[in-house]
Amino acid sequence: MVASLKNLRGLRGRMVLYFGLASLAAALVLSIVTYASTRAYLLDQRTEFATRQAFNNAQLVRTVISLNSSDAGDLMTNIRSERGGYAVLHLADDGSFYPQEPLRFTQSNLPIELVSKTLSGTTGSQRFIFDGEPYEAIGVNIVAINAHYFEAFPLTDVSRTLTTLRTTLSFGVLLITFAAGLLGLRTSTRVLSPLRRVARAATDIASGGLDVRLAEESDPELARLAGSFNNMVDAVQSRIQREARFASDVSHELRSPVTALAAAVEVLQARRDELSERNQQAFDIVANQVRRFDRTVLDLLELSRIDAGAGAPNDETVNLADLVRRVSQRHGFGETPFITTLNKQDETILDRRRIERIVLNLLENARDHAGGATAISVTGDANELRIIVEDAGSGIAQSERERIFERFARGSASRNSTGSGLGLAIVQEHARALNGSAWVENTSSGGARFIVVISRKSINENLQSQEL
């Protein structure tokens, strides 16, 4: 539900909103025009009918009164007006008003403007409210008998019809708006579907899947988009492959001369005492730079192999805690405190070489840049395993915690130390190859804590993958 609402805030939401607002505006305009036209038509029809009937009754009054004016009261009592309507007769000679039903309707209930206008000799009509109901009154000037005839016609039926029409149109507007919103949602889904495919492809490419391509589209515009996107990915893939091959080729080409330089340094190291003090200092600088160069070349070669996906996984059934302990002891870090929550029977499927490289790089990083490792921990649960190395350094600034895992990136604490800036990048790449990740945080004592999380793989899963 929350995801859907978030989606509606973007382009899809705007499309649904535009569809809804456009349909609402169109429906409102159409409803207003329909209501106004229908109302005018019904009222005009009602006025025409009322005027015709009022004149017919006025003609009857003129005939009867012209014969005997004393029959005015009886005439008004017996006159046939519309059901719910009422009539009043005014004889100017004696100034008397004769209402049809004196107890309910008299001349005082008629609109004052209409009465005044009719008594002044002008026939007219006017709508008014009587007893909470709408009426239309017709005033007829009967010149022949010097009289004025008034008749009120109920507009209740017209009012009810218009109320029903308003209700129907209101529901229609809401229904049209809702339907337009659904149409906009469906249309936006179809329109944005190619964009979602592009987004998924871009995400896969960003995750390293450079072989991902968009399928061909039948629509000409979408076909152009898919073609341009695929051409862009081809160009990016080609460039990355060229750069990867270049780095790999350079590393291989440098390996032989660097090995020769390292061998020469080892030979000269045996005769270092024969050199003068100044030459010894120069030799130490050369020896350190050759070792650094040799390590950088080795790291570049390893990164090249990782990027190329070279080498089949060498999965083995191991106890991670035992493996990490043996790696640290074999490479001279046996005195570093070791902690684990795993028991000796806790085994999983792992690539031993990758684990060894991760542990060794973390320990060497602590030794070279942070005063050495202070603790090694191996923990885990049913889904993942963790390798944690803490050091005695000054910690890692928040702004550098992601950057130090990039290639050739070095934190501010290691600016003046040796190293190629590739060790932690190799840790991150190996962690990803094990379906995990690596990050760093500071300890309560001020040092850095490097954490590598890898997915636990059971023995059954490994057997299934081998069968497949």
The crossing angle, in degrees rounded to 10, of helices 352-369 and 423-433 is 150
- 234 with 106, same domain? no
- 251 with 119, same domain? no
| pLDDT score of 453 | 93
- Across 158-162, 231-235, 241-245, 294-298, which has the greatest mean pLDDT? 158-162
The pLDDT tens digits of the residues spanning 276-320 come to 788 878 877 887 777 777 777 777 666 767 666 655 567 888 899
Rounded to whole angstroms, the Cα distance separating 157 from 136 reads 12
- Extract the tokens encoding 389: 């190395």
Could you say which of 287, 307, 327 is where a domain stops?
307
CATH code, domain with 242: 1.10.287.130
- 152 with 287, same domain? no
- Assess whether pLDDT exceeds 60 at residue 234: yes
Query: Is 189 within the bounds of a domain?
Result: no
Look-up: residue for tokens 């030979």?
267
- 35 with 99, same domain? yes
| pLDDT score of 406 | 83
- Cα distances from 331 to residues 335, 344, 364, 367, in angstroms, run 11, 22, 9, 12
- 356 with 436, same domain? yes
Rounded mean pLDDT, 224-245: 79
- Does residue 451 sit in helix, strand or coil? strand
- 328 with 278, same domain? no
- Assess whether pLDDT exceeds 90 at residue 257: no
- Extract the tokens encoding 332: 């001279």
User: Which of 303, 458, 459 has its CA nearest to residue 385?
Assistant: 458
The pLDDT tens digits of the residues spanning 132-146 come to 889 999 999 988 888
| pLDDT score of 418 | 59
Rounded to whole angstroms, the Cα distance separating 468 from 118 reads 103
- In 410-452, which ranges are continuous DSSP H helix? 423-433
Rounded mean pLDDT, 320-348: 90
Could you say which of 117, 143, 161 is where a domain stops?
161
The pLDDT tens digits of the residues spanning 187-205 come to 777 777 777 788 788 888 7
Cα–Cα–Cα angle for 49, 53, 55, rounded to 5 degrees: 120
- Assess whether pLDDT exceeds 50 at residue 1: no
The answer to whether residues 136 and 115 touch, using CB atoms and an 8 Å cutoff, is no
| pLDDT score of 463 | 40
- 36 with 144, same domain? yes
- Assess whether pLDDT exceeds 90 at residue 423: no
Query: Is 232 within the bounds of a domain?
Result: yes
Domain that holds residue 258: 220-307
Rounded to whole angstroms, the Cα distance separating 418 from 283 reads 16
- 434 with 334, same domain? yes
CATH code, domain with 381: 3.30.565.10
The pLDDT tens digits of the residues spanning 19-69 come to 888 888 888 899 899 999 999 999 999 889 989 988 988 888 888 888 776
- 392 with 449, same domain? yes
- Assess whether pLDDT exceeds 70 at residue 252: no
- 297 with 357, same domain? no
Query: Is 350 within the bounds of a domain?
Result: yes
| pLDDT score of 467 | 45
E-only strand ranges, 256-345 = 315-318, 338-340
Inter-residue long-range contacts of 89-93, CB under 8 Å, 24+ positions, other chains counted: 89/61, 89/147, 89/148, 89/149, 89/150, 90/119, 90/147, 90/148, 90/149, 90/150, 91/65, 91/145, 91/146, 91/147, 92/119, 92/146, 92/147, 92/148, 93/69, 93/146
- 300 with 422, same domain? no
- 297 with 362, same domain? no
Domain total of the chain: 3
What secondary structure letter does DSSP report for 329?
A: H
More confident residue, 173 or 307: 173
More confident residue, 22 or 3: 22
Could you say which of 263, 287, 307 is where a domain stops?
307
Query: Is 91 within the bounds of a domain?
Result: yes
CATH code, domain with 121: 3.30.450.20
- pLDDT band at residue 411 using 50, 70 and 90 as cut-offs: low
| pLDDT score of 284 | 79
